[in-house]
Structure 1
Amino acid sequence: MQSSRIQLTPDLSFSTFVHGYWRLTDWGYNNEQIVSLIQEGLDLGVTTIDHADIYGDYECEAIFGKALGGRSSLREQIELVSKCGIKLLSEKYPDREVKYYDLSYEHIVRSAEQSLKNLQTDYLDVLLLHRPSPLYNPSEVARAFSALHQSGKVRYFGVSNFTPQQTTTLQSYLDQPLVTNQIEISVNCLEHFDNGNMDYLLEKRLHPMAWSPLAGGKLFSAANKDRMPLLEVIHALANQKETDIATIMYAWLLKHPVGIMPIVGSGKIARIKDAVHAQSVQLTDQEWFKIYQATLGHEVP
């Protein structure tokens, strides 16, 4: 089975499942192993790859780029996404006294150009603002986006962790539409059902990328006793459908009509195969609501 695709714009589509590389430094892979992982992902139809400037303490993009470098045919088969805007406390930046956000023109352009250098590519398919900043000037963001687009360095732009109003405000300053919002969505995180984001995304025909789609692994530990009602429902459904709980969690996301694109953050191809397999598991409305209700902790009104 191959990952299906979701059309974001007339000339840009993503694989429904996105491969996330934020843990790349933990995998300990050499260049050949990274290339093999990319190619095995392509065999599964997983063509979209998610990065951010800060991942691995600013190391992941460069490690990936060394593996990708010089393989133009491979680059043409994938969609590269990166994010910018967070400034971490890091030994690499000894002048920083606090973690903070920087969405200035200078930082966005400099960060995007550094990502291109690290990834050893001429362009990003999509650049996302990693977090909204209470201090940002949307006019500066618009100017940075315009400069990066006109130079051919970034094809499209989006946001991450933005609320509906924050997305609307930024969009009002831009010449081209934002193409996605990367947000946390899982059976354990209903935040964006509550804050209006899912309704907003449906209205604007935007397809969200879902980070931490398996709830950060929290539901795989029996220690999370407060999640026992949810775990019982998921395990029961997994038993009924003769599959595992991860598949049920992915299937729950895929059922939503907004077109969620889960980010699979594993370096094991077997985990990516399992994620893609979730497309073959169908949940009924009642089964979906059993999970939803278990997370809410009460029945719907």
Structure 2
Amino acid sequence: MASETDIRTHKLVYGCMGLGGGWDTAPYTAEDIHRAETAIEAALTAGITAFDHADIYRYGKSEAVFGEVLARSPGLRERIVVQTKCGIRLPDGDRPGHYDLRGASIVRRVEESLARLRTDFLDVLLLHRPDPLADPREITAALASLHAQGLVRQFGVSNMNGPQIASLQAHMDLPLVVNQLEMSLHRRDWVESGVLFNTADAARNGFAPGTLEWCAANDVRLQAWSPIAQGRLTSHEDTRVNRLVAEIARHKGTTPESVLLWWLQRHPARIAPVIGTTRPEGISACADAVHRRADLTHEEWYELWVAARGIPLP
């Protein structure tokens, strides 16, 4: 039976990319730590106990300020699930940004993340993006070593399609349990790829067919990054879809943010949104995605989809 430490049991995840100050190498400040504390407390109050990181977020400062909060909060680490990602290298001088999933690099990045987070282990490690030069056997050997040492409990990927995940899984005894993708009512290629097959619009959809089905068949939980699309559909902009989101929220006694998260959660692919706002009120607005079922009818779900498309379904 899955436990609360299994990332697949969590309906909503808090994304920590906004914590830690600026996207630069300047040191984080006491105010950055305070803002992180405030956001983490708001997430916990909303019922969110899974936290998503990446080693590159704010040049490592997102993990570092989170580690400061953990150090100041005895017992907090045991109450939460901590997930981070590795595999992207940011530009450095004349060196361009690139991907690096060499085995030794994975191990080194995990060790650095553990130090910044001030924890002895990660609940989940995701490979952030595919590295075309990586050897799947080298990757999986590194992951097996990290697991055997007790440094990482579960593994997954981000921004990968079904065949890419299958290629890794073929060399692993441990299951890959997460695939994190950009998914929202605004970014709909993941759902439209299935219905645009055998239409003239299919060639314009770049989402890899079969990825959702592969993940579902292999118990890989989908996580949706940018699920509220930076507030595009919860703003006061007078568009058909914005008006419909607000109308459904009023009718259901909830917030526009929760309606958008329900739209993802209502899909049978079992999607866990990763919210990223640092505003406590914005985090609180998502609480119904934890505490209530995805309260959209079949017809309401389609009304939202068609309104966002702006044109009828094929």
Is the shorter-chain TM-score for this pair beyond 0.5, marking a shared fold?
yes
Q: What is aligned with 1:3? A: none
Tell me if the contact between 1:8 and 1:206 (Cα under 8 Å) persists in the aligned partners.
Answer: no
Tell me if the contact between 1:206 and 1:258 (Cα under 8 Å) persists in the aligned partners.
Answer: no
Could you list the per-position Cα deviations for residues 117-138 of structure 1 after superposition, in whole angstroms to 9, with x for gaps in the alignment?
0101000000000011222211
The reply to whether residue 256 of structure 1 matches residue 267 of structure 2 is yes
Q: What is aligned with 1:237? A: 248
The runs of 5 or more residues in structure 1 that have no matched partner are: 1-6
The reply to whether residue 84 of structure 1 matches residue 54 of structure 2 is no
1:1-301 matches, cutoff 5 A: 12-13=6-7, 14-26=9-21, 29-31=31-33, 34-69=36-71, 71-89=73-91, 93-94=92-93, 96-193=94-191, 194=193, 195-220=209-234, 228-278=239-289, 279-280=291-292, 282-301=295-314
Provide the C-alpha distance between the structure 1 equivalents of 2:86 and 2:6, rounded to a whole number of angstroms. Answer: 21
Decide which moves more: 63-72 or 258-267. Answer: 63-72
Cα distance change on mapping 1:99 and 1:33 into 2, 3 Å: closer
Tell me if the contact between 1:182 and 1:208 (Cα under 8 Å) persists in the aligned partners.
Answer: yes
Provide the C-alpha distance between the structure 2 equivalents of 1:210 and 1:32, rounded to a whole number of angstroms. Answer: 27
Cα distance change on mapping 1:251 and 1:142 into 2, 3 Å: same
Shift of 1:220: 4.5
TM-score norm. by structure 2 comes to: 0.83
Provide the C-alpha distance between the structure 2 equivalents of 1:51 and 1:113, rounded to a whole number of angstroms. Answer: 14
Shift of 1:48: 0.4
Shift of 1:294: 2.8
Cα distance change on mapping 1:217 and 1:43 into 2, 3 Å: closer
Tell me if the contact between 2:19 and 2:32 (Cα under 8 Å) persists in the aligned partners.
Answer: no
Could you list the per-position Cα deviations for residues 164-212 of structure 1 after superposition, in whole angstroms to 9, with x for gaps in the alignment?
1111111111111001101111001122222332222222222211100
Shift of 1:58: 2.4
Shift of 1:38: 2.8
Matched residue SS, 1:76:
helix
Provide the C-alpha distance between the structure 2 equivalents of 1:244 and 1:40, rounded to a whole number of angstroms. Answer: 16
Give the aligned CA root-mean-square deviation in angstroms.
2.5
Residue type matched to 1:294 in 2?
A
Decide which moves more: 54-63 or 39-48. Answer: 39-48
Shift of 1:298: 3.4
Cα distance change on mapping 1:49 and 1:168 into 2, 3 Å: same
Tell me if the contact between 2:42 and 2:283 (Cα under 8 Å) persists in the aligned partners.
Answer: no
Shift of 1:30: 4.7
Provide the C-alpha distance between the structure 1 equivalents of 2:225 and 2:96, rounded to a whole number of angstroms. Answer: 25
Provide the C-alpha distance between the structure 1 equivalents of 2:128 and 2:166, rounded to a whole number of angstroms. Answer: 16
The runs of 5 or more residues in structure 2 that have no matched partner are: 23-28, 194-208
Residue type matched to 2:230 in 1?
G
Tell me if the contact between 2:4 and 2:10 (Cα under 8 Å) persists in the aligned partners.
Answer: no
Q: What is aligned with 1:4? A: none
TM-score norm. by structure 1 comes to: 0.86
Residue type matched to 2:296 in 1?
L
Shift of 1:64: 1.5
When the two structures are aligned, how many residues end up with a matched partner?
Answer: 288
Cα distance change on mapping 1:33 and 1:56 into 2, 3 Å: closer
